[in-house]
Amino acid sequence: MVSRDTAARWRISATVAMALALGGCAVDDHHGQGGDPPSRPRTAPSPSASTDPPPDCPASGVRIRSTGGDAAMGLRALGLELVNCGDHPYQLNGYPVLHVFDEQREPVMLRVVNGAKEITSGFDQPPRQVTLAAGERATAVVLWRNLVTDSTVVATNGEFLTVAPAAGQPAEEVDPDGPIDLGNTGRIGVSAWTKAEPSTPPTPSAVPSSVSPPDRRL
């Protein structure tokens, strides 16, 4: 019988493997400090011409959502999905831009690590240009650790998360599937956008051997 800890590690490895199997990411970082707080959902604009996005599609032509999270041995993973819900091709070449907010919707000061090298291994390939036709998807993975190394530093919990396709692009609020419990690490990682192929995501038993197991240090 598989233990609960082993099953949890399989699940989070599968989440990470999905991003790795569909592409890679680099190890540079950017600062995810500040940003506009998430706003209340706005009414979608009504189409004015045949070239307008569908009514349930944002004016940007893309829709971003989370695909659920997983946790094992203190390592957290949250899947992201971007859908081209417009009528025209949409290009990506880089990383999602993240902003985390506390329960009062105040920005949480932290560092966003492109590729998550300081959080876990396996995210070391550079981003590639992605062109999404109408209806196609791109995916990414957000990673962080619930790690406390200094009892004098207050642990940080984020409650809200916004994601933009790239710097300067409109952000959308996504469901973080629970608290973003960063401990006192002050950092969160994210993989590059990769094109999602129309295939079944890998199962825990089919995780590529190139994926490193979660770091067991807490």
Q: Which residue, 160, 145, 65, 142, is CA-closest to 106?
A: 160
Q: By the 8 A CB rule, do 25 and 96 touch?
A: no
34 Cβ contact list (under 8 Å, min separation 6): 99, 107, 109
Give per-residue pLDDT as tens, 72-117.
778 899 999 999 999 999 999 999 999 999 999 999 999 999 987 8
Confidence check: pLDDT of 33 > 70: no
Specify the pLDDT at position 199.
Answer: 58
Specify the pLDDT at position 150.
Answer: 83
Number of CB atoms found within 10 A of residue 191's CB: 31
| DSSP 8-class letter at 107 | B
Give per-residue pLDDT as tens, 1-21.
444 444 444 455 555 444 434
Specify the pLDDT at position 203.
Answer: 34
Specify the pLDDT at position 101.
Answer: 97
Q: By the 8 A CB rule, do 75 and 143 touch?
A: yes
Specify the pLDDT at position 19.
Answer: 40
Confidence check: pLDDT of 189 > 80: yes
Query: Count H helices, E strands: the chain?
Result: 1, 14
Instruction: Classify each residue of 118-131 as buried b or exposed e, where b means 16 or more C-beta atoms within 10 Å of its C-beta.
Output: ebbebbebebeebe
Q: By the 8 A CB rule, do 94 and 127 touch?
A: yes
**Residue 62 host element (H or E):** strand 62-72
Report the Cα–Cα distance between both ends of the chain, in Å, rounded: 26
pTM of the model: 0.69
Which residue blocks in the chain are alpha helix, DSSP H? 4-22
Predicted confidence band of residue 213 (pLDDT cuts 50, 70, 90) = very low
> What whole-number percentage of the chain has pLDDT above 70?
64
